[in-house]
Amino acid sequence: MPKTISGFSKFNKLEKINWLVSSFFYNDENVKDILKQYWNKNEVLQDLHDDFIENTISNFYLPFAVAPNFVINGKEYTIPMTIEESSVVAAASLVAKFWSTRGGFKAEVISTTKIGQIHFMYEGDEVELKNYFASKKEDLFRVTTAITKNMRKRGGGILNIELRNKTAELDNYYQLHVTFDTVDSMGANFINSCLEAIAGEFKKEDIQIVMCILSNYVPECLVHAEVSCNVNDLYAENSEILAQKFIQAIQIANAEPHRAVTHNKGIMNGIDAVVIATGNDFRAIEAGAHAYASRSGKYKSLTNATIENGIFKFWIEIPLALGTVGGLTSLHPLSKLSLKLLGNPSAKELMEIIAVAGLAQNFAALRALTTTGIQKGHMKMHLTNIIKQLGASEEEKSFLINYFENKTVTHNAVVEAYNKLVQDK
């Protein structure tokens, strides 16, 4: 059967699956069973999931967990996390409890400005373009009045529209750089609708509009989170030495991009998990965060730490364009539940919570790396996954977990121990 097809999107779900199975899986009925077993038995809920994207054939589930004991700005939180990587939730929970007895996390939103751009080409006189923009600027605001009406009622809207000359980067390239405050909405559709309306009003014979689109690089939608304590309260022993190693680990990330990427990936483990759980766009957050890490011209750490007068301070500053209304946050039942668990936060409060989750994850990673090493705790958490892959019984699983209580966990070691266990029976 040919593996190209027309009209696939018009098939119902079973027809899509039948085509896939016959075209790629040699009519293996087991494939159908696997896909169907992840359908939600609640038809209303399944229909909701099916409508999120096109060509849905099943659901791909990720673990939905919580990390308790976070104290942020004096308020207690249990944070929802959706992630498949072992040890992330355990590390976040451990760090949350650690800092809950040391004053907790402090967080503050610095700014909430979001950005959209109209990119266009212009070969004429720049002075004439500037004059045209000045004459049209009031109209550019006016044409968005119907779109921005409700947003303005909530305290948001368009903040400013600037004409920017980008010809140094690309011949004849200019842009309208538009800034927004979208309050509790992430605002992608709102921003793009405004941009298209503005572009329509700005059209002129010698102006060639190329595209209108929001930017996921939002260096002015910024949040700061930190922890601090006496150096002697950081570790049971050798606090000064280990705290210096902790800081050196960050200095290495600032000096070496290869390390910085992995360092920041660990931060995003915590951030993405909460972003996904609350129905926000983790790809946009990732792109914006990594661009911000490169703003100096070199990719660096998103976190920093100091020791001054015997006080250890550890902080993160990161752009987070988030929403608590609209999109999946209002549609997905677990996203709504996650926000309710957090006390139905504003977008600003959610920025603080998610920045803290990233900071906590980085603290856990650096603490492990500069003391026992990352693999000891990670592989302990990974042990159960290896045991499941081996198809061990509950009795065998219990034995292996106890067996590796004080031993180094590696995949080969677990396989050998399991094989010996089976042979000795």
Q: Quick check: 107 and 72 in contact, CB under 8 A? A: yes
Catalytic residue among 119, 332, 348, 378: 378
118 forms bridges with which residues in the sheet?
A: 176, 212
Catalytic residue among 51, 85, 162, 233: 85
With CA atoms as reference, report the closest residue to 307 among 245, 372, 223.
Answer: 245
C-alpha span between 9 and 56 (Å, rounded): 9
Residue whose pair of structure tokens reads 């004439």 in the numeric block: 128
* Cβ contacts of 159 within 8 Å, gap of 6 or more: 113, 179, 180, 181
Category of 362 on φ-ψ map: left (φ > 0), alpha (ψ -120 to 50) or beta: alpha
Tokens of 357: 């989750």
Catalytic residue among 13, 224, 245, 265: 265
At 404 the three-state DSSP class reads coil
Apex CA 113: angle with CA 108 and CA 118, to 5°? 160
Q: Quick check: 157 and 148 in contact, CB under 8 A? A: yes
Q: Is 85 one of the annotated active-site residues of the chain? A: yes
Residue whose pair of structure tokens reads 């250890």 in the numeric block: 312
Q: Is 137 one of the annotated active-site residues of the chain? A: no
C-alpha span between 390 and 395 (Å, rounded): 13
- Helix, strand, coil percentages, rounded to 5, for the chain: 50, 20, 30
C-alpha span between 109 and 169 (Å, rounded): 32
Q: Quick check: 355 and 105 in contact, CB under 8 A? A: no
Which value, to the nearest 10 degrees, does the dihedral of the CA atoms of residues 260, 261, 267, 272 take?
A: 160
Backbone angles phi, psi at 395, to 5 degrees: -65, -45
Backbone angles phi, psi at 111, to 5 degrees: -160, 160
Q: Quick check: 415 and 403 in contact, CB under 8 A? A: no
At 309 the three-state DSSP class reads coil
Q: Quick check: 277 and 80 in contact, CB under 8 A? A: yes
Q: Quick check: 312 and 305 in contact, CB under 8 A? A: yes
Q: Is 281 one of the annotated active-site residues of the chain? A: yes
Catalytic residue among 281, 300, 332, 382: 281
Name the E strands within 280-410: 303-308, 311-319
* Catalytic positions, written as ranges: 85, 265, 281, 378
